[in-house]
Amino acid sequence: MKYVPSKIVLVGTGAVGMAYAYALVNQGICDELVLIDLNEAKSRADVLDLNHGEAWAPSPVSVSFGSYDDCRDAAMVVVCAGAAQKPGETRLDIADINLRIFREIVQRVTASGFDGIYLVATNPVDVLTYATWRFSGLPAEQVLGSGTTLDTARLRFHLARRFEVSTSNVHALIIGEHGDSELPVWSAASVAGRSMSRRIAAEPALRAELDAIFQRTRDAAYEIIDAKGSTSYGIGMSLARITRAILKNEKAILPVSTLLRGEYGHDDVCVGVPTILSRGGAKHVVELDLDGDEQRAFDASVATLRGFRERVDALL
């Protein structure tokens, strides 16, 4: 199937979907963007709203409302549709309803002849990325989720403020489930060229600070959802960053949710791990040298996700 190299179809135009769409247009990441949503009137208004800003965008982007037939020649289908997490709910609490929604979405995308890259944003993103891979029948490289990209951005924000440097000088990752069992990889972290392990050795009290920073990072979504109902801007920008890495064939390393096939001692599960992204999707999983505590925490995070495979199997 021939596809348009810079065409994206976005399924789901709620708060997350439109934050992503705005980031795409504002950064000039794609040439063509097609929106699909059950609420056609609202989505058509979103199309108008985005088009009215084209004069100030860095490059022209054709934005339109469409149908699943538009997926046929798309380079990427990005899925933001589904039930949203409510105050007091975890991401895993909404798995069953969103699995059913995703089965229908993937069936309709597949019927179009789509053979590009899926990018999943809906929660629980690791479960739904795995489900999308199983439902679609596409190679694993062509199906990925936002994973812990947003969590990593949150962590880097807090560390940059703590050490009074730019976020570009912070190298730290969150891996595992995009959820309560995620973990920071302090053993591979550095700020302004100095490893976190050396910083902790020189300042033992820093460890408690880092623990507090991680807890705030992990629980950030709950704080935002309680106050305004949903997260949107951070995840929209994270999805745009992933999209740029793929469409521009950057070979950038980002912690997306992708299928493990023996890496980190696990297989047949999608989870957030650093991955080289290219035009073909998830090119290669980067295996970090986790310390003992980190490996155990990662194993526990994977175990949390494995329990959902039977629910996916039941829908095949």
pTM of the model: 0.96
- The torsion angle over the Cα atoms of residues 291, 296, 298 and 299, rounded to 10 degrees, is 140
Q: 309 or 260: whose pLDDT is higher?
A: 260
Architecture of the domain spanning 4-145? 3-Layer(aba) Sandwich (3.40)
Confidence at residue 126, expressed as pLDDT on a 0 to 100 scale = 98
The residue type of 308 is F
Query: Which of 52, 158, 171, 178 is the catalytic position?
Result: 178
Q: Do domains 4-145 and 149-313 have the same CATH topology?
A: no
The tokens 């019927």 sit on which residue?
A: 111
Query: Percent of the chain, pLDDT > 90?
Result: 92
Angle at 167 between CA 206 and CA 196, to 5 degrees: 30
pLDDT in tens, 37-53: 999 999 999 999 999 99
Residue 2: its pLDDT value, please?
61
- The 10 Å Cβ neighbour count of residue 161 is 12
Fold of 149-313: L-2-Hydroxyisocaproate Dehydrogenase; Chain A, domain 2 (3.90.110)
Q: Walk across the sheet containing 170-171 and list its strands.
A: 170-171, 190-191, 194-195
Going from N- to C-terminal start, the domains of the chain cover: 4-145, 149-313
Give me the mean pLDDT over the 80-89 stretch.
Answer: 87
- Mean pLDDT throughout 242-259? 98
pLDDT single digits (tens) 88-125? 888 788 899 999 999 999 999 999 999 999 999 999 99
More confident residue, 219 or 86: 219
Q: Summarize pLDDT for 157-174 with one digit per residue, the tens.
A: 999 999 999 999 999 999
Residue 276 and residue 285: Cα distance in Å, rounded? 6
Given a cut of 80, whether residue 196 has pLDDT beyond it is yes
On average, the pLDDT of the chain sits at 96
> Is 266 designated active site?
no
| Amino acid identity, position 10 | L
pLDDT at 136 over 90: yes
**Taking a C-beta distance cutoff of 8 angstroms, is the pair 118, 77 a contact?**
yes
Q: How confident is the model at residue 224 (pLDDT cuts 50, 70, 90)?
A: very high
For residue 4, is pLDDT > 80? no
Q: Distance (Å, rounded) from C-alpha 65 to C-alpha 59?
A: 20
Interval 273-289: pLDDT, tens = 999 999 999 999 999 99
Report the C-alpha gap between 183 and 223 in whole angstroms. Answer: 19
